Amino acid sequence: MALSSSMFFAFAAFVLLLHYSLPKKWQNPLLLLASYGFYIGLSPQFAAVLAVMTAVNYACALWIDRNRRRSRSRLWAGIAFNVAALVFFKAGSLFLPDLLALFQRLGLPAPSPGMRIVLPVGFSFYVLQALSYLVDVERRQAPACARPVDFALYLAYFPKLTAGPIERAQRFIPQLAVPRTAGQIDLERSAGLIFLGLLRKIVIADLLLQSIPAKAFRAPGEFSPLELAAWLVAYAVGVYNDFCGYTDLARGVSGLFGIGLSRNFNLPFFSRNFTELWNRWHMTLCFWIRDYVYFPISRALVRRGDRFGRGVNLFLPPVAAAMASGLWHGFSAKFIAWGALMGLLLIAERLASQLRPARPISAIPVWKRSLSVLKLWLLAGLLALLSAAEPGPALAFFSRLFSSAPWRWPNSRVFLVILPSAWLDTCQLRSGDELFFLRWPLLWRAVFLALAGGAIFLFSRSGIPAPYIYQGF
């Protein structure tokens, strides 16, 4: 059940009706029940894994909180459990043949040879929420949640279950403690986010991603450099709208239940460098990695106060953070290459920033800023490409892109679809509000909603919406 499907909206509307009809004390149990119902609809096994992860992490946080003298070792036990589960589901299929052979050698009853390890949808997202919760409880930055329903809902809440945003317990759980009434909902903003999410997903992302020929990344030699450049930009903009659209939808639906979710994108295509892109793209993941991987390593090195610490700090934290991000996306050569490249780019920027004084954005000429953005787009395209193809074809793609092969003009439909995305982002930047159209005069707002609504209706009739890319992680 994709978030942009009519079935999901019927499900959410039914739960919403019950949510505001039932007594307040039943709101959280109802949301938990609905969330598990939603997940069981995807797979009962996924729901069973979630229930086990919830029970273990709930108990572990109380265990950490109970004895402060042993809290650190108990935290490490909790981290080991979650990381082992993540590695098992992400990389288990790589080791499965060896495992089956081992069972055979030891004469143990071997599992069926056709057995597969399937990564539960949303697992990579909710396991990070569980990890940050344990760390924050140990650091006394979040209380151990005594109410099992609230904690279970923190991991299972259906609008964010399949692909985030990755919430922090300190922000999410307190929202469950207050009863929510229909009168408190910001209906305009929630509906606006749902509308924007559908527009980005159905009208922009699906069209863009479908317009890229399947062979573009596998056999780039069949295309001209100009076509490849167009597919590269189309892919980066398509992935952005797919995921940003998903997050807007999730936030909008959640807003109707009176629960705020975090923003995941802040106009990433206006970043001037990779360090800034890191703060604007999939923000809840990047901030998680920054707070729980980068900062602790960097702080330990800076605290040494010597040249060794300062030197190592230039490269170890960026590499660790980028590799953590790569491995979170997948245990494969392409994501390791992706992480390594991202780490190298971050190091290059850190080194460059050590050599010259910083200047405020306003003091940099516009042409220079535009060049930085162009350079970033090219590199972002390379990163996006690496996430889509194995390193070999990705390198072949880039050598063809910069070759002197005859130029052939790409299908102009790609540019027609990129334009609305660029227009949306520019409006959001100029207005300073992601829901810029809510500030417009009534007539303009009505025209925009009618045109965009018509496009959503038209394209949603063309078939089943494509699954969200990030649900695959």
Backbone angles phi, psi at 224, to 5 degrees: -80, 160
- Member of 109, 360, 365, 441 binding another protein (CB under 8 A): 360
Contact segment (CB under 8 A) with another protein among 32-40, 211-219, 354-362, 448-456 equals 354-362
Q: Are 152 and 52 in contact (CB under 8 A)?
A: no
Least Cβ distance, residue 195 to another protein (angstroms)? 28
* 348 near another protein (CB under 8 A): no
Task: Please say which residue, 189 or 350, places its beta carbon nearer to another protein.
Answer: 350
Nearer Cβ to another protein (241/298): 298
Contact 277, 267 (CB under 8 A): no
Taking the complex as a whole, how short is the minimal distance between the CB of residue 272 and another protein, in angstroms? 7
Rounded Cα gap, residues 153 and 51, in angstroms: 11
Q: Give dist(CA 158, CA 1) in Å, integer.
A: 11
Query: Per rule CB under 8 A, is residue 372 in the interface with another protein?
Result: no
In the shown chain, the binding pattern of residues 288 to 327 toward another protein, with x for contact by CB under 8 A and - for none, equals --xxx-xxx-xx--xx---------x---xx---------
Please state the separation of Cα 307 from the chain's center in Å: 36
C-beta of 69 vs 359, nearer to another protein: 359
When asked if residue 272 is in the footprint of another protein (CB under 8 A), the reply is yes
Amino acid identity at 330:
G
Both tokens assigned to 267: 């106009």
Read off the amino acid at residue 360. P
First to last CA, the chain: 16
Give the Cα separation of 464 and 4 in Å (integer).
9
Q: By rule CB under 8 A, what string of x and - marks binding of each residue 420-459 to another protein?
A: ----------------------------------------
Residue 166: C-alpha distances to residues 203, 261, 323 (Å): 26, 9, 19
| Contact call for residue 270 and another protein (CB under 8 A) | no
Which runs of E-coded beta strand occur in 329-396?
A: none
Place of tokens 């050698």: 105
Nearer to another protein, 238 or 343 (CB): 343
**Does 276 participate in binding another protein (rule CB under 8 A)?**
yes
Give least dist CB 301 to another protein, A: 8
Window contacting another protein (CB under 8 A); options: 287-295, 374-382, 451-459, 462-470: 287-295
Does residue 152 sit in helix, strand or coil?
A: helix
* 3-class DSSP string for 63-124: HHHHCHHHHHHHHHHHHHHHHHHHHHHHHHHHHHHHHHHHHHHCCCCCCCCCCCCCCCCCHH
Please choose, from the candidates 156, 133, 155, 146, the residue with its C-alpha nearest in 3D space to the C-alpha of residue 177.
Answer: 146
Q: How far is the CB of 275 from another protein (least distance, A)?
A: 5
Identify whether the C-beta of residue 134 lies closer than 8 Å to the C-beta of residue 73: no
Among 362, 367, 441, 443, binds another protein (CB under 8 A): 362
Instruction: CB nearer to another protein: give 64 or 207.
Output: 64
Cβ-contact 159, 253 below 8 angstroms: yes
Stretch that binds another protein, among 23-31, 46-54, 85-93, 347-355 (CB under 8 A): 347-355
Nearer to another protein, 168 or 400 (CB): 168
Cα–Cα nearest to 327, from 342, 315, 316, 312: 342
Nearer to another protein, 184 or 354 (CB): 354
**Least separation in angstroms between CB 270 and another protein:** 12
CB of 262 to another protein, least distance (A): 12
Verify binding: residue 361, another protein, rule CB under 8 A: yes
**Between 304 and 445, whose beta carbon lies closer to another protein?**
304
Count of helices and strands (H, E) across the chain: 20, 0
Of 189 and 272, CB closest to another protein:
272
Q: In the window 17-56, what residues touch another protein (CB under 8 A)?
A: none
Which of 353, 399, 403, 462 contacts another protein by CB under 8 A? 353
Interface characters, 132-171, with another protein (x: CB under 8 A): ----x--x-x--------------------------x---
Rg, the chain, Cα only = 24
Closest of 450, 17, 155, 44 to residue 9, by C-alpha: 17
Q: How many CA atoms lie within 13 A of 317 on its CB side?
A: 21
Of 17 and 351, nearer to another protein (C-beta) is 351
Count residues near another protein (CB under 8 A): 35
Q: Which residues bind another protein (CB under 8 A)?
A: 136, 139, 141, 168, 272, 275-276, 278-279, 287, 290-292, 294-296, 298-299, 302-303, 313, 317-318, 346, 350, 353-354, 356-362, 364
